[in-house]
A and B are shown apart, each in its own frame.
Chain A
């Protein structure tokens, strides 16, 4: 017989610790994951989205970094606007390695009767491409394709140009004053991404051909880029950085924009990071929606385990220990869900690599990104903790006396303070991760505020709905009475349905409003006053003739013409531009060259917000007017001294005033407008616009472009519709990705909804069987449940639409800064579908119940 040992006399007695908690949690898990299906699926979906987005983004970033030299065409690129490098500048570069150059500008390709089209000209030297290869169709050596033959220079063009002008290889177009023979389709160019997004198809020609066009005029918008390849003996990052630093100090006045192989496509990289953040937030939405499923699953877990919890307490486990054991168990299950999500998310870029590669003109190599996957895992585990701790915390005070009675007392309404604090800490951690790893923290902060608000609203709605259902008089119709009672009884589905459905509807409504607003912004009817064309590089000497041309082509139409140059901000006061800490929204102003102009009077569509506009005949020190919003973004004050580099010269002007600019007017406006005396005598071209004639009698767009190409071959016409369509194509591709990620959030929402309804089926089963025993028909029972589901679904959908509208409005007006289009059709469709889905999901389970004889179920109840 075993000899009893008194606990107090046990020589090795010690307080059990984390080891025991883990052991008991694992022991309990041996029973399997039954009841955790929705829990795991919800976490896996959210984590998968975040992991997939992060992994794909990493693949693109690494592709950019690895292929930096190829994209840039060298180890470093030095670009100048308006002008070629001076001999000393060129000498500086050639002393440090092999130099090749390209020139890029916009121009018009005129195919006579077939029309004219805007082209993005790229003029290369004999060394091009110094890294990588150009693929053409038919494939042939580039020098031959670009050479001068029979009085015409050769060129290769994007197939889009052939299609647009109905041309075939061998046909001749006129660009400026030169005949250019299009000899092949341009299939790919190694440095395409570095040039950014163009409005027209690429036309690749030699620099001799470009010179022959006559488009290179003083002040024309041409960019010369010099690519430097370091010698084999000096290719280290340190040596590259030294060259770049020397370029800044020894050629201080060059005003060139320098990119290194490590930063080959900064604009693309920035957009990639911004888009990655957006998709990550959509993924986080999926996770938070799934969190409701996690909470529901844990609540059911606690419900099913109440007697076990009480038993553990009866044999000596403190409430905190019971919670710790089962929290550990839940977190182990969360780790499984997170693991599944990570696996799928990490694998997605490998599976979808071909699609990503076909959409984006950048090298993409699927890669395993441990850091990004760790963050996705952190999101998953923190979400699980946030949603699990409150229902589990309620188990702390489960009464052991339940073991002596048939029913367990209801949960305490509020868990102990420690669990609320733990939940708040985890929530803060989740917000911290979202903000800490965000590209734009302001947006992450707005997102967190919106999500918090939506959760609170829907929670308040569910509580309000239940309170209302309790208070309104009982209807006479039994089915209605039962539906009403079911909506507020203990364990009612109302809170779970309102949250899961409301979140899903809110998300879809917000996306619908964003979609509508963005589409309207890009493709909607342009206002009458909006120009239909922008004309670049209108020579100053031809400006009056050009005005007359437009007046003849578009009688009565509004036209505008302003001088235009390009210039880079070099410094503000004594601070160099690269050292200025600008806001995310205004960083672009300091990044590269910007269009600048001068004016005697305040431009149309502008209003002076601070300071004063200069007199029309002002002759004093150079003054500049700055866009108010961007001035705030870069910390500019009235009276500051701003230095810009224009045409290789540094010019310093005093900030005289700030303007608010209505960019949506489609009029000509600039961030920086200088006093006219600043650029007196400087060579420049003009930027002009023309709208359609009020009576519609003016020349058609096509006719205007044809005649323009004949009369002003050096002037480039950008059709606003074409430009918007180019942007719209990109937006459509982005929207696809957003819809894909959002689809997963909706899937999470449906999972939660289905899970909540399935969990309610046991109570429904009992009710239905009792009702059938008492003589209720199936029609009666079904109509009662349908009424309940429809009522809850309707309220959840209405408030989901309201929350989604508010969120959509916030994103459209505050983040995207475009006009909010209040077209509710999409949201109403979403809400209607949501109510339908709720009733359908609910009744599917009930119908299954009602097909069985009551006895078979009542025996098991």
Chain B
């Protein structure tokens, strides 16, 4: 498999519904999009527009009802659940709004976890390097509950980039942080993206944050309403 194809993420006519029976909702309605390798893309749109679902589909966390999803040249539809998990561990780093650190593990152990799962013998050395890289060299042995929100998100970012993924996805990464901390986190994500040449997909409500991306996709009711270069995005 090619590590970094020209088209890092490619979706063709993707449909996805969630729920059962009367509660079933058609969320993605024929989405087609192609994200270039190394590009930063912001997904924006009102609540319920389907942007988080689109992000999850790109990360292999949701399976579409129909359509094609290719990430780093791999057709995700061809992988079973375990295959997807292993693929994610190697190729996709995910940053969540709510951090989702494992509370029983220290910062070092949280960052080492994907490396350990992938079988890296130097998982802890690399985890320490990543933590130093995000400015938490002094907080390695702290548990999530002992860290501030900003610090927890830094640990989560270190964990996401530790396996050096080709794709980095972030879902409202500043949503649970104050403004100044949020800004620092955004700077960190973009710095790491540039440093590693990863493809970044960012879901956000914050248009100023979306403006930092090279490309913005605006969703409304499960369809792509507009695609634009960063400077032409309108609210």
- A pairs with B: yes
Which residues of A line the B interface, CB within 8 A?
1-2, 4-8, 10, 12-16, 20, 23-24, 27-28, 30-31, 307-308, 310-321, 397, 399-401, 403-404
CA distance A7 to B87 in the complex (A): 11
CA distance A517 to B188 in the complex (A): 79
Interface residues in B67-98 (C-beta closer than 8 Å to A): 81-82, 85-86, 88-90, 94, 96, 98
What are the 5 A-B residue pairs with the smallest beta carbon separation, nearest first?
A316-B89, A2-B129, A4-B164, A318-B82, A315-B114
- B52 contacts across to A, CB distance below 8 A: 404
Q: If the complex has contacts A2-B129, A16-B116, are A316 and B104 also in contact, measured as CB distance less than 8 A?
A: no
Check if B102 sits within 8 Å of A316, measured CB to CB: no
Check if A316 sits within 8 Å of B117, measured CB to CB: yes
Check if B104 sits within 8 Å of A27, measured CB to CB: yes
**B21 contacts A by Cβ under 8 Å:** no
CA distance A321 to B159 in the complex (A): 19
Which residues of B line the A interface, CB within 8 A?
3, 52, 55-56, 61-62, 81-82, 85-86, 88-90, 94, 96, 98, 100-105, 109, 113-114, 116-121, 126, 129-130, 132-133, 159, 163-164, 171, 195-196
Q: If the complex has contacts A14-B119, A16-B116, A20-B116, are A308 and B103 also in contact, measured as CB distance less than 8 A?
A: yes
The chain A residue with its CB closest to the CB of B60 is A400
Check if A10 sits within 8 Å of B100, measured CB to CB: no
Q: Which of A7, A28, A308 meets B90, CB within 8 Å?
A: A7
Give 13 A-B pairs besides A13-B118, A311-B100 with Cβ atoms closer than 8 angstroms: A7-B120, A8-B90, A15-B119, A20-B116, A308-B102, A308-B103, A311-B102, A312-B113, A313-B88, A316-B85, A316-B118, A318-B81, A401-B56
Q: Which of A5, A6, A315 meets B117, CB within 8 Å?
A: A315
CA distance A30 to B104 in the complex (A): 7
Can you offer 21 A-B residue contacts whose CB atoms are under 8 A? Answer: A1-B195, A5-B126, A8-B3, A12-B120, A13-B120, A16-B117, A16-B118, A16-B119, A28-B102, A28-B104, A312-B102, A312-B117, A314-B100, A317-B85, A318-B85, A319-B82, A319-B85, A399-B61, A400-B56, A403-B94, A404-B52
- B56 contacts across to A, CB distance below 8 A: 400-401, 404
Check if B98 sits within 8 Å of A403, measured CB to CB: yes
The chain A residue with its CB closest to the CB of B90 is A7
- A30 contacts across to B, CB distance below 8 A: 104
CA distance A317 to B163 in the complex (A): 13
The chain B residue with its CB closest to the CB of A3 is B129
CB distance from B223 to the nearest CB of A (A): 20
CA distance A312 to B86 in the complex (A): 11
CB distance from B54 to the nearest CB of A (A): 11
Check if A7 sits within 8 Å of B164, measured CB to CB: yes
CB distance from A415 to the nearest CB of B (A): 13
CB distance from A490 to the nearest CB of B (A): 14
CB distance from A302 to the nearest CB of B (A): 15
- B113 contacts across to A, CB distance below 8 A: 24, 312, 315
- B3 contacts across to A, CB distance below 8 A: 6, 8
CA distance A403 to B62 in the complex (A): 12
CB distance from A406 to the nearest CB of B (A): 9
Check if A12 sits within 8 Å of B133, measured CB to CB: no
CA distance A316 to B159 in the complex (A): 11
Q: If the complex has contacts A7-B118, A403-B96, are A315 and B126 also in contact, measured as CB distance less than 8 A?
A: no
The chain B residue with its CB closest to the CB of A16 is B119
- A15 contacts across to B, CB distance below 8 A: 119
CA distance A10 to B86 in the complex (A): 16
- A403 contacts across to B, CB distance below 8 A: 94, 96, 98, 100
